[in-house]
Amino acid sequence: MPDQKVGEGKKDHKRLGQDLDLFTISEQCGAGLPLYAPNGAIVRNQLMQLIRDKNGELGFREVSTPHMFRSELWKKSGHYDKFKQDMFFLKVDDEEFALKPMNCPGHINIYALRPRSYRDLPIRYSEFGTVYRIEQSGELHGLLRVRSLTQDDGHAFYAPEQIKQEVIKIARAALDCYSIFGMKEYKVKLSTRPEKYIGSPEVWERATAALKGALDEMKLKYEVKEGEGAFYGPKIDIDIRDSLGRWWQCGTIQLDFAMPERFNLEYVGEDGKKHVPVMIHRALLGTLDRLMGILIEHLQGAFPSWLAPVQVAVIPISEDAQDYAAKALSELRNAGIRAEIHAESDTMQYRIRAAQEQKIPYMLVIGKKEIDAKVVAVRRRDGKQASMPLEKFIGSLQKEVAERNLALTVA
């Protein structure tokens, strides 16, 4: 959590989440367990699609794993000894199971499905895996600190000589994601071997040198955080700065030589001998929940059109405009645009103000003049206005959405 408070005159994400019908955290359901309303689910799904697109570029293939595993698996991975106090346990047929605090052991077992060759590598898995961690009630805070969190998680298996270039690709993809949200200031941190770790010091030195080599080749400035690595390997963390001047840790790239050895993972090398792959744990955005909380405050709920739950509000001025507005709504939706009609009995000014309060990017105001001219009056939430044929508006908005523009560009 950052030290700074929400800027003066700004709303925090919990208030905005309620005002914009994005999410709630119900005492009846349990603290730290966010519930996403339809508007919030749309934002969440659009963030997932962004990562799916990036994963496709990086060669990650999506998998799905259960929400719990036998405790024996967590003992083998090392999580049981390291994180037992933060894990949820339950009994099944007199055997102990745990809700997963991380996704990596499941991905390891998918890798182990069959023999692997150097020709198969890299093998890359991604998952929007929901994990569960015990957080103290006093530390919970909206979406920023929860007990049920969904990561844009990824694990990949490499030959040692592939590490540097793969780390560079992942880091560049993460930085590109942040720039889409207008977050272009970042800090990079390299964390080294902690006091409690698995693996040998020699392996840790190799892993740390590989990460340093990647950062140096990218010519990125970075801070070394001694002793703050994950228990299985050193890591790169990327902190981003939001519009309120606060710094947040989001992306992470963690190198792991130890866990593949624990699970006896192998591949047959070009020399015909068996080798242990290197594993990378990575997240581009971190957790979807935390990122949504950050973005809600960063943008003050004014999402760009590609993220906005409702992209267009159609506002007929009079009863005579209802049919034209309904036809416009149908064409917008057929074009894949998230639109709704605002035809309540209140005044046009009230409906425009209500759409602005809901942070809807575009309003199409339709009256007799628009019907006669076969156009729509486009009003942006920032007040800019223009008239144009509906087909032109649709094409321009589709382009804006496809390019994931941060600014509104139509009109």
pLDDT tens per residue across span 280-303: 999 999 999 999 999 999 999 999
User: pLDDT per residue over 67-107, tens digit each?
Assistant: 999 999 999 998 999 889 999 999 999 999 999 999 999 99
CA-based nearest residue to 186, from 249, 236, 144: 249
Low-confidence ranges of the chain (pLDDT < 70): 1-9, 345
Tell me what pLDDT residue 324 has.
94
Instruction: State both tokens at 53.
Output: 């697109």
Angle at 28 between CA 27 and CA 33, to 5 degrees: 60
Query: Given CA atoms 364, 368, 374, 375 in this order, what sign does their dihedral have?
Result: negative
Query: DSSP per residue over 121-144, as a string?
Result: -SEEEEEEEEEE----GGG-BTTT
Is 189:239 a contact under the CB 8 Å cutoff?
yes
Place of tokens 């605090």: 101
46 Cβ neighbours under 8 A, 6+ residues apart: 306, 307
**pLDDT tens digit string along 326-383?**
999 999 999 999 999 987 767 888 888 999 999 999 999 999 999 999 999 999 999 9
Active site residues: 104, 133, 151, 153, 155, 235, 281
Sign, Cα dihedral of 288, 294, 299, 302 = positive
By DSSP bridging, strand 312-316 and strand 339-341 are parallel
CA–CA dist 16, 275 (Å, integer): 52
Distance CA(157)–CA(279), nearest Å, equals 5
Cβ(193)–Cβ(312) under 8 Å? no
Residue 82: per-residue pLDDT: 86
Ordered structural domains, the chain, with CATH: 13-65+103-298 (3.30.930.10), 312-402 (3.40.50.800)
Strands 376-380 and 68-70: unpaired
* pTM metric for this prediction: 0.93
User: Residue 214 in contact with residue 168, Cβ under 8 Å?
Assistant: yes
Computed on alpha carbons and rounded to an integer, the radius of gyration of the chain in Å comes to: 25
Burial of residue 141 (CB within 10 Å: 0-12, 13-18, 19+) is middle
> In 3D, which of 56, 61, 53 has the Cα closest to residue 127?
61
